Amino acid sequence: MTSALGKDLLGLEPLTSEQIQLVLDTAEPFKEISERAIKKVPALRGQTIVNLFFEASTRTRISFEFAEKRLSADTVNVASSGSSVQKGETLVDTARNLEAMRIDMVVIRHGASGAARFLADRIESNVINAGDGTHEHPTQGLLDLLTLRDHFGTLAGRRVCIVGDVLHSRVARSNIWGLKKMGAEVGVCGPRSLLPWAIGEFGVTVFSRVEEAIEWAEALNILRLQLERMTAGYIPSLREYNRVFGITRERLARAPRDVLILHPGPMNRGVEIDSDVADGPHSVILNQVTNGVAIRMAVLYLLAGGRPELAEAAKGGSER
């Protein structure tokens, strides 16, 4: 049976606005499950899910695992260290061997852009992209959209600026696709060396000065500098970056309105964001993390063939 999202979730670029809306709406009833004393419903009982994390992760890996367990799926976690990947086994061979043990879904994080698509084209299980290189991080994009919608009520017409290392950011790409499909206006701001060469083709407003971005935006999604992906000197120094592009309380104080603060994490406090902004009254950074579990529950439920109109009923059957 083909799900409302198709076989896989590889990015937000291929999704329609209706499919994005469906995930956001399906996540709503799932939010409440995490607030219960017994955080478990039987919606995915009997489903076996493998979490293949070949790159470091705290939020995404743990959030998927919570989402799977709260829906009563059976889960196995595989990291490259400690697996036969270290002995030279390919990604496809690893996944095919897992499929031979009769799995239903694979959640994959990988350092190579396109790794999730490569796998999805070669195995029958549903594949969910948990971040592939600099390509996309669709569940992060969806949880960012849900957090913005929670605050503003609607996404259409909202002005959201993505600030920082856009060049290396899969989160930025998923946000740009998702926000634009939902009718938001998108800005990007960062050093020219950290914006994609073809940024003009993304249909976004480019700000070279962070003060102008803050004046324009209703929300800032602040990105860390991905030093581990930088092959050259993209910025003079972290101190210089903070001085020119850092989001500080002083800069926000000059904004014509309160600006909502998002960050996908992990944060480098004192570099792209100051602590009093990260922990300040307009920060929804931890709301993003909370919403991540509901979004991942919704994606797992829909890909498993769960009917959106039954999501409310699916959360009714608590495991007691």
**Toward ligand CP, which CB reaches closer, 58 or 84?**
58
Span of 42-50, 55-63, 121-129, 293-301 interacting with ligand CP by CB under 6 A: 55-63
| Residue nearest ligand CP (C-beta atom) | 60
**Toward ligand CP, which CB reaches closer, 117 or 137?**
137
Smallest Cα–Cα separation from 174: which of 12, 285, 15, 16?
12
By CB under 6 A, what part of segment 258-277 binds ligand CP? 264-266
CA-to-CA distance for 90 and 302, rounded, in angstroms?
A: 29
Residues sharing a CB contact under 8 Å with residue 34, sequence separation 6 or more, in sequence order: 66, 70, 290, 293, 294
Measured from the CB of residue 57, what is the shortest distance to ligand CP in angstroms?
3
Q: Do 56 and 288 contact (CB within 8 A), yes or no?
A: no
Measured from the CB of residue 139, what is the shortest distance to ligand CP in angstroms?
9
**In the stretch 160-199, what mask flags binding to ligand CP with x, by CB under 6 A?**
----------------------------------------
Measured from the CB of residue 313, what is the shortest distance to ligand CP in angstroms?
31
Q: Does 221 bind ligand CP (CB under 6 A)?
A: no
Dihedrals phi, psi of 34, to nearest 5 degrees: -70, -15
- Max distance between CA atoms of the chain, in angstroms, equals 59
Span of 58-66, 156-164, 186-194, 311-319 interacting with ligand CP by CB under 6 A: 58-66
Span of 29-37, 54-62, 69-77, 100-108 interacting with ligand CP by CB under 6 A: 54-62
By CB under 6 A, what part of segment 59-98 binds ligand CP? 59-60
Q: Do 38 and 319 contact (CB within 8 A), yes or no?
A: yes
Measured from the CB of residue 171, what is the shortest distance to ligand CP in angstroms?
7
Q: Does 126 bind ligand CP (CB under 6 A)?
A: no
Measured from the CB of residue 170, what is the shortest distance to ligand CP in angstroms?
8
Ramachandran assignment for 94, one of left (phi > 0), alpha (psi -120 to 50 degrees), beta (any other): alpha
Q: Does 131 bind ligand CP (CB under 6 A)?
A: yes
Q: How many contiguous H segments (helices) and E segments (strands) does the chain have?
A: 12, 9
Q: Assign 115 to helix, strand or coil.
A: helix
**Toward ligand CP, which CB reaches closer, 34 or 226?**
226
**Toward ligand CP, which CB reaches closer, 104 or 132?**
132
Q: Do 241 and 272 contact (CB within 8 A), yes or no?
A: yes
Measured from the CB of residue 236, what is the shortest distance to ligand CP in angstroms?
26
Q: Do 148 and 160 contact (CB within 8 A), yes or no?
A: yes
Q: Does 140 bind ligand CP (CB under 6 A)?
A: yes
Q: Does 48 bind ligand CP (CB under 6 A)?
A: no
Q: Do 293 and 60 contact (CB within 8 A), yes or no?
A: no
Residues sharing a CB contact under 8 Å with residue 64, sequence separation 6 or more, in sequence order: 51, 107, 128, 130, 139, 296
Q: Which residues bind ligand CP (CB under 6 A)?
A: 57-60, 131, 137, 140, 264-266
